[in-house]
């Protein structure tokens, strides 16, 4: 019998089953059946695999683990947004994942890390620092927990910096994209990053050309350093150069994420600076109205100011759209549900 640790079933590749089956003395024809049960039918135990012989199921049950995350809490918003708080191994290791409905789309917003190392001053996730990387299986499990059959799009915009967990994130993307996996198209998978030039250039060589979104959030380096501590490691110019490399390698237009904060980065002068940056890159701008976080000093911008900001971009020939706010009544901003569950005084307790 194998002495290997149980492997997360939701990070299996076809090539992984070859070694596993050889070690367990199992026939290779079971491999396709196993992957079908894991990714297409999304069973939660080996015992549910009815077309696999009992003796084979018994061996597989010792080698595979199906659900590592404990669902601590679910919140449902009036607009259909659904948020899960998942616990991995201990109460200190919790992450959030969100299902966002929009017309024909069902988008899963997944976390790549427990907490976040970046420490953005406006973000709830960064308040607690980094608690560790999620495995590829834990990332895929978030999608399955939301109901993978319903999910049409994936965005790595939950807790964590995806490109600082590069190996596990790209492994998860392969599973999410593969025909034998969840079969979600590359164009429907978005990786959002605060801007790590070397990692962006590495992603440009990755075989699956996902959409790249840059969490810019400021029109110049001075403001960006105030909002994003990691901005000290790379200038906007250096980051945009890496993004241009990504565009040239993949042909995929870059999305610039710009979180509008009242009287911080939402003035007309800021819009003009942002427009000038956009002239250096094939991109579109996603304007995001801030969802306020208790205990943080930032405020949601006024509707009229957001409109003026977008008009200023348009007058400069920059394509932008305003992201619809979703899940405000369940604190859907990244990290808020986790904080509420840990500190009931700042929100709803379970």
Cα–Cα nearest to 97, from 30, 154, 180, 48: 154
Q: Can you read off the two tokens belonging to residue 73?
A: 């809490």
d(CA 295, CA 293): 6
φ/ψ (deg, to 5) at 133: -85, 150
d(CA 233, CA 244): 18
Which residues are identified as catalytic? 96, 334
- Three-class SS state of 154: strand
CB atoms within 10 A of CB 40: 14
Based on DSSP, count helices (H) and strands (E) in the chain, helices before strands.
11, 14
Q: Map tokens 């959002």 to a residue.
A: 192
Element (H, E) at 287: strand 283-289
- CA quadruple 289, 295, 296, 297: dihedral sign: positive
DSSP string, 11-33: G--HHHHHHHHHHHT--TTHHHH
d(CA 155, CA 226): 26
CB atoms within 10 A of CB 320: 21
d(CA 132, CA 118): 13
d(CA 349, CA 341): 6
- Three-class SS state of 329: helix
d(CA 301, CA 290): 7
- Three-class SS state of 225: helix
């Amino acid at each position: 019998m194998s002495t290997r640790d149980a492997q997360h079933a939701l990070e299996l590749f076809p090539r992984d089953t070859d070694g596993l089956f050889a070690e367990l003395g199992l026939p290779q024809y079971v491999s396709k059946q196993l992957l079908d049960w894991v990714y297409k039918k999304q069973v939660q135990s080996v015992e549910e695999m009815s077309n696999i012989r009992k003796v084979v199921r018994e061996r597989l049950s010792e080698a595979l683990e199906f659900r590592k995350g404990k669902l601590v809490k679910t919140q449902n918003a009036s607009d259909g947004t659904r948020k899960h708080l998942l616990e991995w191994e201990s109460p200190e290791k919790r992450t959030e994942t969100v299902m966002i409905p929009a017309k024909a789309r069902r988008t899963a917003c997944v976390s790549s890390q427990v907490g976040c190392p970046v420490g953005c001053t406006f973000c709830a996730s960064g308040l607690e620092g980094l608690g560790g990387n999620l495995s590829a299986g834990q990332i895929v499990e978030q999608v399955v927990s939301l109901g993978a059959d319903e999910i049409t799009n994936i965005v790595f915009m939950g807790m964590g910096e995806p490109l600082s967990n590069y190996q596990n994130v790209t492994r998860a993307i392969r599973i999410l994209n593969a025909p034998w996996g969840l079969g979600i198209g590359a164009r429907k998978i978005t990786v959002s990053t605060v801007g790590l030039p070397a990692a962006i250039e590495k992603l440009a060589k990755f075989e699956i050309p996902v959409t790249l979104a840059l969490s810019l959030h400021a029109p110049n380096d001075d403001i960006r350093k105030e909002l994003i501590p990691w901005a000290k490691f790379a200038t906007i110019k250096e980051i945009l150069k890496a993004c241009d490399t990504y565009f040239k390698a993949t042909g995929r237009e870059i999305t610039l994420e710009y979180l509008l904060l009242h009287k911080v980065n939402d003035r007309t002068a800021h819009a003009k600076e942002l427009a000038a940056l956009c002239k250096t890159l094939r991109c579109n701008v996603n304007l995001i109205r801030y969802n306020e976080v208790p205990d943080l000093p930032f405020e949601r911008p006024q509707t009229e100011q957001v409109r003026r900001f977008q008009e200023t971009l348009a007058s400069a020939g920059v394509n932008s759209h305003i992201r619809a706010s979703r899940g405000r009544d369940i604190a859907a901003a990244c990290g808020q549900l986790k904080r509420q569950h840990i500190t009931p005084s700042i929100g709803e307790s379970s």
